[in-house]
Each structure stands twice: as C-alpha cells, then as structure tokens.
Amino acid sequence: MRLVLSLFLVLFLAACAGPQVRGTGDLGLIIERASGHVTLVDTTTRQPYARIGGLGDLSHASAVYSRDGRYAFVFGRDGGLTKIDMLEAKVVKRVIQSGNAIGGSISQDGRIVVAQNYTPGGIKAFDAATLELLSEVPAEYAPGKFSKVVGLADSSGNKFAYALFEGGEIWVSDFSHPKQPTTQRFTAGSQPYDGLVTPDGRYFLAGLFGEDGVAMLDLWQPEKGARKILENYGRGQEKLPVFKMPHLRGWSVAQGKAYLPAIGRHEVLVVDVATWKEVGRIPVRGQPVFVMARPDGRQIWVNFAFPDNGKMDVIDTLAGKVVHAFEPGKGILHMEFAPRGENVWLSARDDNKVLIYDTTSFARIGEIAADNPSGIFFTTRAARIGF
Amino acid sequence: MVSTATGASEPDAVRQKELVRLVRQDCGSCHGMTLQGGLGPALLPASLRDKPAEGLAATIYYGRPGTPMPPWKQFMSEAEADWIVQKLMSGFPQ
C-alpha cells in the first residue's frame, strides 16, 4: 500500500513538473508597437497568457508562423527579426537583419523566412530553424539605384513575389536553391505601395499609388507579364490626399469577388475575380486601410485612415452594402478574425486595448489590455497562402 | 506663404501633446514612429539639417504633389506646422 501511494505521488509530481501538453491552433500574438512588447493570447479563452519584451521598434511590425504554429517570426521596423516560441512563451532567437524593414513572409515548405526591407532596399532569406542568413536579393532596379520593397508574398514552389516602390516593378524570386535565388522582373506601374497574393497563390496584385490601377501578375503564367486592372478608377476626379497607405495584405476574396480599398476615396472597389473587371463600389465612411473578409466570406470588415480611424464599417457580401457601422474605439489599426470567424479582434491603439466583437450580433464580448496595440496575428495564418 | 516665425504663437501645452501624438502616430505610419523613415524619408534632426524650415513647413501644410505626402492643413494651422518643423529639427519630443 505504501509503495503504491509513493508511486502515485511520484507520478502526480511528474505530471505537475512536466510541460503542459496543448496544441497551437488557437494561439496568437498582439504587437504592442510603442513598447517593443508582444502579448500572447489564447483565442479560445479570449485571454492573454504571456507578455514578451525587448523586441525593439515594433511600429508597423508583422508576424508569420511556422507551419506547426509553434513559432512566430516577428518583423520589426528597425530590421529586427525575432523568433518566438508560442508554447514556452519566450524568444528563441533574435537578429537585426537590416536598418529599416517592412514585414516578411515564410516559404511554402516552412524552411525559409524572408524579410522585406526599405533600407537597404531588397529582401533577405533566413533559415527558419536558425535565422542564419541564406541569401539576399538587393532591389537594384537600375545601376546603383535601390528601391524600397513592398507587398512581399509567398507563392508555391518557395517563390516570393514583391513590388518595388521606386522601381515600379514586380519581382518574383525563386528560392528552390535557397543560397542561389533566381529573380524574374516585370513592369508594374508607378509607385506600387503594397501587394498581395490570392488565396490560391495564383495571382499577385500590386496596388499602385502613382497612378489609378492595380498591377496583376499571373504566377501560373508569368511569361505573359504583368497587366493593369482597375485602370482609371478615379478618372476625371481630383487626386485625393491619402493620410495612410491602404494595406492589401489582409485582403478579401469572397463569393468570387475581390474587395479592395480605393486609394484616397471613401470607397471599397468590388472586382469580379473571373474577369478582373470592376463590378461595383461600396461607399464607406473614410479612406479604407484594411478591407478584410471574415473567413467564410459573408462579411467584409473595413477600417480607416486618420482622421476616421475610430470607425469600422461592416459590409454584407450578399447585400453588397454596409450593414453595420460603429465606433469601437480610438485608433483602430488592425483586425484579426478567429479561425472560423465567429469573433473578430480589433486593436484600439489610443485606448490601449484590443476589443473582441461577436461577428453575428456585433456585441462586444471582451477586451484585452495592451500598450498601443497594432497588428494582431493568429497562428491559423500558418496554413494560409499569403499570410 | 508659411511664416517662419518661431515662438510667436506657440501652441498651448494640450495642443502640443496632440501634435506630438499626431506626428509620432499618424505621420509615423509613413515616416516611422521613431521618425527614422519608412515609405517616407527620415525626419530626424540630422536628416533635416540642410533643409530650409520654411520649405519643410510648407510640405507639411500643403503636401508635396507627385509624392504620397498629403497636405495636413485641415488638421493644423500654419503656425502649428512651423512649430512641428522647429521641434523636428531640434529633436522631437516623445
């Protein structure tokens, strides 16, 4: 009896001391831009479970995930690239890879993490396991002229597509041989400001700032070159000042239509994905920044540039119009949907909170304190192309 | 034209705080929250040193056509644009 009891005790203690076994599918992180912290969150309990500091300048920071959802790679503005263990809630490795960075991406096979840089302009590829530099592609579009890189997106075959702001081109770099990447160049148009890849990985789109329109490259048939869609969508009207560049990364395809922010205009453009022709415009209450589809595609949530960045509009894709408009907080910078979209998390920078809303009733169902929160990134991104 | 007079009509403390936040957070979306540059150029004292204050204030107030820099005149007065330039050139408050 005594033996049994002590054996029981040993097993009990071992169970306490051992790591808690859990999956990663319902985890995520919130960027706290001003203080160099990230808060780790559980989307099932809708609570934070850890906070990690020392990540440098996180303004405009973004994150991608390893394919198992265990590791986050956080790209900071100051060129910092930090690998975080989501389960042990700690920094695994951190490198300063450039002077001024603007996000990154992870390869189809999960082995290569690529950072896109403003200074010096170009992309750099790192081993996802060790963060060792594998290779780089300087964005030298003309002899001695380097461009800022925007819109970096992963596509199949360990290729990455991106656009050159000053260079006016789309580049596709193939990292099949990670240490010897090869790059194809395509003319895009004036001042591409961001890019995205469609959920199937087929089309890369680069929004143009310097002219009305969007450059599109069919990655299945790159030999056909990039072409322009949505040309002259603001034709005949005065060019409007833009107080914040729209983001295309969180973009939306729903029910065969793509929903894109109109530059400077208080409109969301609706495009038929089969023909790539504009089929409608939906008026909204400001200059759209993020135009994001709920995972099922029924709703599109839109946030806005300064000075309308306290507002959110929700478009019902069946009705084709805004069905809910509200003011959830101050400085709404980003949003992220729960994996299947039953709730959405909004960062309210100037309220120092992340707000959680039910997407059916639009009721606020929770909030999390965070210091100047900006990007919110859930581990479900690990399995999505272009995220 | 934008006046270069500095200190003549300095914004009050509350407004100064608002302007600092505007520059860090909203100008910061292109120029970086630490003003070290992003899609837009760096706005640090060293990078602005050789530029005339009057021209910089005009860029803030009227924007710069042909670039993404928008006019900010609906959100501030010319005197406030002058004050921002003066602070940028001497080291911007946190």
Q: Answer whether B38 sits within 8 Å of A331, measured CB to CB.
A: no
Closest chain B residue by Cα to residue A33 = B33
pTM: 0.92
The DSSP code for A224 is G
**Residue B3 pLDDT grade (very low, low, confident, very high; cuts 50, 70, 90):** very low
Q: Please, which pLDDT band fits residue B93 given cuts at 50, 70 and 90? A: very high
How many residue contacts between A and B have a Cβ separation below 8 Å? 58
User: Distance (Å) from the C-alpha of residue B63 to the closest C-alpha of chain A?
Assistant: 8
Query: Which of the residues B30, B31, B39 would you substitute to probe the A interface, choosing the one with the greatest number of A C-beta atoms within 10 Å?
Result: B39
Question: In percent, how much of chain A has pLDDT > 90?
Answer: 82
Q: What is the ipTM of this complex?
A: 0.86
B38 near A CB under 8 A: yes
Q: Count of residues for chain B?
A: 94
Q: Who has greater pLDDT, A15 or A54?
A: A54
* Partner-chain contact B39 A33, CB within 8 Å: no
- Cβ contact (<8 Å) for A148 and B39? yes
Among the partner-chain residues A100, A242, A349, the one whose CB lies closest to the CB of B38 is A100
- The more confidently predicted of residues A236 and A91 is A91
- Per-residue pLDDT at A2: 56
Three-class DSSP category at A4: helix
How far is the CA of A161 from the CAs of A152, A169, A245, B69, in angstroms? 6, 11, 20, 26
The pLDDT of residue A238 is above 90: no
Per-residue pLDDT at A250: 63
Which residues, at least 6 apart from A16, have a Cβ–Cβ distance to it below 8 Å? none
Q: Which residues of A touch B17 (CB under 8 A)?
A: none
Contact A77 B32 (CB under 8 A): yes
A→B contacts (Cβ < 8 Å), by residue, are 33-34, 57, 59-60, 77-78, 100, 102, 118-119, 148, 150, 165, 191, 193, 209, 241-245, 306-307, 331, 349-350
Confidence of residue B66 (pLDDT cuts 50, 70, 90): confident
CB contacts, 8 Å: A150 with chain B: 39
The DSSP 8-state label assigned to residue B47 in this structure reads: H
How far does A13 lie from chain B, in Å, by closest CA?
A: 49
Q: DSSP string of A129-186?
A: TT--EEEEEE-EEETTEE--EEEEEEETTTEEEEEETTTTEEEEEE-SSTTS-EEEEE
Please name the helix (run of DSSP H) or strand (run of DSSP E) that holds residue A14, with its range, or none.
helix A2-17
Question: Nearest 10 degrees: CA dihedral of A94, A53, A119, B64?
Answer: 170
Whether A34 and B28 lie within 8 Å, measured CB to CB? no
- Contact call for A60 and B26, based on CB within 8 A: no
User: Could you tell me which chain B residue has the CA closest to the CA of A164?
Assistant: B39
Domains of chain B: 13-90 (1.10.760.10)
pLDDT band with cut points at 50, 70 and 90 for residue A236: low
CB-based contact B34 A59, cutoff 8 Å? yes
- Give the three-state DSSP class for A385: coil
Give the rounded distance of the alpha carbon of A155 from its chain centre: 15
